[in-house]
Amino acid sequence: MRRVLGVRSDFEFKFAKTHQRPDWRFRFYNLSIDLGLKFAACAFDKNRIVPGSYTSSQFYQAGATVLAADLCATNREAEAARCATMGKPMLLQEPIAVDDNKDARMLSAIGEAFRALRSGRDLRSALTIKPVFRDSAKDEALQLADMVMGAVGAHLDGDSEWCDLIRHGGRELGIVNWSSCPAAVMAGDLCENRTSRAT
């Protein structure tokens, strides 16, 4: 993509950096779709929340739990596909990369939520490995995440052009009912738990 756009090889794709280049956004998102990538996102519209009524830790826990529960089936399908491809039982051990914001509480909340996802092969094992911080300037997966979340954020602000593009016929779960989110990550297998949502 960088070569096609004529940007330097270490150019960091960020939604905010492409505000003046909608053509770059179109090409970036369309390439992602052509590659068969699928996205899941959870965002909180802070305009709906009384300032100071929730801590950053509660945001981290709720967001991580909603995403983990929603992605459980996808990860189990990927695990089954891997076993079929390799011709033997295998654990998925999906890696989780987190944009390094130096906040250990966020990394811990993500770890608790995603490590609660149980393998479809062995319920004693987790579907994912321990999440790690990475530098978005060097990690293309995190740059993709920034572009996706930028589109979601713009959607919340009233500009749905980019979100509609990457939704690509997918489903929108609507507004997460904050009162239904747990104050702490739920115990047990998150694959069997579904945080309530209101549309």
- pLDDT by residue (tens digit) across 126-163? 999 999 999 999 999 999 999 999 999 998 888 999 99
Picking from 1-15, 89-103, 127-141, which range would have the lowest pLDDT averaged per residue? 1-15
- Tell me whether residue 54 is in a domain: yes
Kindly state whether residue 197 falls inside one of the protein's structural domains: no
Does residue 3 lie in a domain region? no
Buried b / exposed e along 56-80 (16+ C-beta atoms within 10 A)? eebbbbbbbbbbbbbbbeebbeebe
Position 186 in a domain? yes
Is residue 199 in some structural domain?
no
Task: Give start and end residues of each alpha helix (H) in 87-139.
Answer: 104-114
Residue 8 domain flag: no
- Full residue range of the structural domain in which residue 28 is found: 16-192
Task: Enumerate residues 6+ apart whose C-beta is below 8 A from 78.
Answer: 92, 94
pLDDT of residue 193: 43
Total domains, the chain: 1
Higher-confidence residue: 180 or 164? 164
Q: What is the pLDDT of residue 192?
A: 52
Let me know if residue 174 belongs to a domain. Answer: yes
Classified as helix, coil or strand, 128 is strand
Predicted pLDDT at 50: 80
Handedness of CA 78, 80, 85, 86 (dihedral sign): positive
Looking at the domain assignment, is residue 9 inside a domain? no
